[in-house]
Chains A and B, each alone.
Chain A
């Protein structure tokens, strides 16, 4: 036998609570312990709460298995199934099983769960009297249903009703005996219980309310039941479902302190510090839970302590109940009865089968009972747990969350309410269901992973918030929120800001120098960082850095926009949107000559020619540049257009010559490479026909001068500009604009538009830089230096033979 230095963890009880602890522990410290599990049942770990659907024939045993035996093997866990632990030797620190097996422990975890409560009736040990607790019980019920006709369920609580429903589905005639006069009295108030009873009666169940069982009748096997009032009923199968009690026998005989359950503290530790206990066998702060949610919370805390982190505390759970009877919607949570300090809000429509009751105390929801329509159950439950002040929407509270509109609650619960076919990502057509499936099937935990697997939020990014909410809602607390400062790409840990600073500080002038200096993990970088580095270097060293065409996205390498069929579009620059008949004729002639299939006037006041093969581009550019045009840079992370309105030359409202100013601005800024595309507009009066207040820079002319507005965007997320300042002359407009462009070029992250940039760095910082004369003039000077190189028209160069290989295919014949 191999000796291991690892500490030994022994788990008694192969159920949901114990195994959940192991799963949580493996996530935290997979190699800390040698783990041994003892379980009474001859199976792996299964989902006990799904036994009712198995009995009803809606699921199979395989469907409800949580961990197969392979899982134990894969995780190096020794599973002793069908092996009952009889004794815990706390002196020697070992457990002894009935089959004689012994296992030593450094830490012991008890998760023995609960036992069905069996009424001490005469005849209760006859064959045919069973409980409803495990797979064996379900099997004997299924067998009985094939041979026998009449079933009797003692107990009209959650478990009893689910058993009764299952047996009825298996073809038996079922009666339910219940001592109180309403069903599920621990979870339901009287009106809801009455509605439930009548709808179960409609389905064919018989109820014997206020009946107390006195004796089980029969010879070899149960044949009926006699009640206290002397009446009798025929039954071939009796299911005892009057409740459960914590299974503490082993703990008690081992001398652990027990009351109703094994007493544990907030770290799930028993009175023996080496021994922990979780699940239905424990009693925490006086409460023994019989539902699944608390047990998962306990498991998390317990695993945290077993992993030696020692920081989690379990402080109890508010529980909620749902009845798993198909077709019956029932939900209850918290304190649903109330007292003299609480108030009730009730909605009841018996004919329609709807009942809702909320208990409020001090503007907070304390409890809820829903019957018929339970969609808002999880919302009310959240309100109860969070202790949310609901006074603002108390009058519509009963109508549910959907009635609340968009404000007042978090987006997580909102996406939770969306149907599975709701489209989340409009760019890539990804629905909620696709995302949720990918998250759960492929075990995704980060936004990046969801993007990679589903493509949701990977294009325009406007649905990022929704996708993050879906992640949080689907994986719960395990979701790792995107860190605020992100590395530039997966090749490095350095951020955009680190790299930009480093380029200047260490005089890094080539891409390999940057990659070495910041310890890139890939030799050539990737399609994300190569673009960024090329731009950062070009911006920092405009007269020295040699632009690397292979690090530019194809649009900027081919100086046209690649279209879905691989052809390109051609947009000549029309300064300020102005044009002459000769210029239009040139464009028309070019379009004819190259058989341009489609043309369009763009939103930026120029003309787009579509469907041009790459090899045709240089010839077309030759004809255009001969006619006086230059590239419109409609394809680049660059200055795009200056949109103008008619201005005071013609317009009766115009206050300044907006077209002349637009042309001057475009002459100043054209050709400039930017972190992202960059658009300008000049409106001749505050009526703003050029839509200047959704541009990167918008000039709005007024009678006394010019307002400079910045940081607008008309795209994914419309953002109205902020007023930067007001100036008096055209010269000042040009000076301020040049300085602002350079500040954006030097400060923003690559692929960050001005709108998010302004929001990230704050308008105050930008204002301070531009309004300070020394800084402004220095920025403008640097802008003009970089423009010298940038305003060499790329089309003219290529029309005369530059980069010819880029545009010329090689032809080979076989």
Chain B
């Protein structure tokens, strides 16, 4: 079950941006915050499966590019009046490398 997978060097992920990570099961969006916080979230908005990786990140949330839902990157919950939730994954940075736990 839960094992740590190496994703990429931290500097390969843009600040306030994301990279798409393909795993055998699913596509994950890995975001990097202003202070190098790393978030990993399933790359599908709970609304209409929009690719969250392509949205604009701010604070610890991302705005979906399709219909502007705001999703919390730490909980996966839709913020504001919208309702819905998507999966999030544990992350860590070790020696400049980003890992996610599946």
Contact = CB atoms under 8 A, between A and B. Distances in A.
Contact of B56 (A550, A558, A566, A810): A550
A452 interface: yes
A526 to B, nearest CB: 5
Given A526-B58, A549-B17, A564 B8 contact: no
Interface stretch (A49-57, A281-289, A517-525, A701-709): A517-525
Contacts of B17: 549-550
A223 to B, nearest CB: 62
B20 A562 contact: no
Contacts of A525: 58
Contacts of B102: 814
Contacts of A552: 56
A550 B63 contact: no
A809 B21 contact: yes
Given A524-B59, A810-B7, A812-B7, A554 B20 contact: no
A452 B80 contact: yes
Between A525, A531, A557, A812, the greatest number of chain B beta carbons within 10 A of the residue's beta carbon is seen for A812
B85 interface: no
A415 B14 CA distance: 49
Contacts of A527: 55-56, 58, 63, 68, 70
A530 B56 contact: yes
Nearest to A813: B24
A549 B22 CA distance: 23
B81 interface: yes
A814 B100 CA distance: 11
B7 A554 contact: no
Contacts of B3: 814
Nearest to B35: A523
Given A524-B16, A549-B14, A814-B24, A453 B81 contact: yes
A811 interface: yes
A805 interface: yes
Contacts of A809: 19-22, 27
B95 interface: no
Interface string A440-457: 000000000000110000
A553 interface: yes
A551 interface: yes
Contacts of B23: 812-814
Number of chain B interface residues as a range: 35 or more
Contact of B21 (A551, A555, A566, A812): A812
A525 B12 CA distance: 23
B19 A810 contact: yes
Interface in B4-53: 5-8, 12-17, 19-24, 27, 30, 34, 48-51
A550 B65 contact: no
A465 B22 CA distance: 45
Interface residues of A, number: 32
Interface in B54-102: 54-59, 63, 65-66, 68, 70, 80-81, 100, 102
Nearest to B100: A812
A805 B12 contact: yes
A207 to B, nearest CB: 54
A452 B56 contact: no
Contacts of B6: 812
Nearest to B98: A810
A553 B7 contact: no
Given A523-B59, A530-B56, A562 B66 contact: yes
A564 B48 CA distance: 9
A212 B102 CA distance: 88
B59 A522 contact: yes
A566 B50 contact: yes
A811 B7 CA distance: 8
Interface string A392-434: 0000000000000000000000000000000000000000000
Most chain A beta-carbon contacts within 10 A, residue among B48, B51, B70: B51
Interface in A285-324: none
Contacts of A813: 23-24
Contacts of B14: 549-550, 805-806
B9 to A, nearest CB: 10
**Which of B12, B58, B65 gathers the greatest number of chain A CB atoms within 10 Å?**
B58
Nearest to B50: A566
Contact of B34 (A523, A530, A551): A523
A523 B58 CA distance: 8
Interface string A459-477: 0000000000000000000
A566 B51 contact: yes
Contacts of A549: 14, 17
Nearest to B25: A814
B5 A550 contact: no
A550 B15 contact: yes
B80 A553 contact: no
A458 B81 CA distance: 13
Contacts of A810: 7-8, 12, 19-22, 30
Contacts of B15: 550
A814 B56 CA distance: 29
Nearest to A555: B65
Nearest to B30: A810
A257 B95 CA distance: 87
Nearest to B20: A809
Contacts of A553: 56, 65
Given A452-B81, A566-B50, A809-B19, A522 B58 contact: yes
Given A523-B59, A524-B57, A562-B54, 4 more contacts: A530-B56, A562-B51, A806-B14, A811-B22
Closest 4 CB pairs of A and B: A527-B63, A554-B54, A809-B20, A527-B56
Interface of A: 452-453, 458, 522-527, 530-531, 549-555, 557-558, 562, 564, 566, 614, 805-806, 809-814
30 contacts: A452-B81, A453-B81, A524-B34, A524-B59, A526-B58, A527-B58, A527-B63, A527-B68, A530-B56, A531-B56, A549-B14, A553-B56, A555-B65, A562-B65, A564-B66, A566-B54, A614-B20, A805-B19, A809-B19, A809-B20, A809-B27, A810-B8, A810-B19, A810-B30, A811-B22, A812-B5, A812-B22, A812-B100, A813-B24, A814-B102
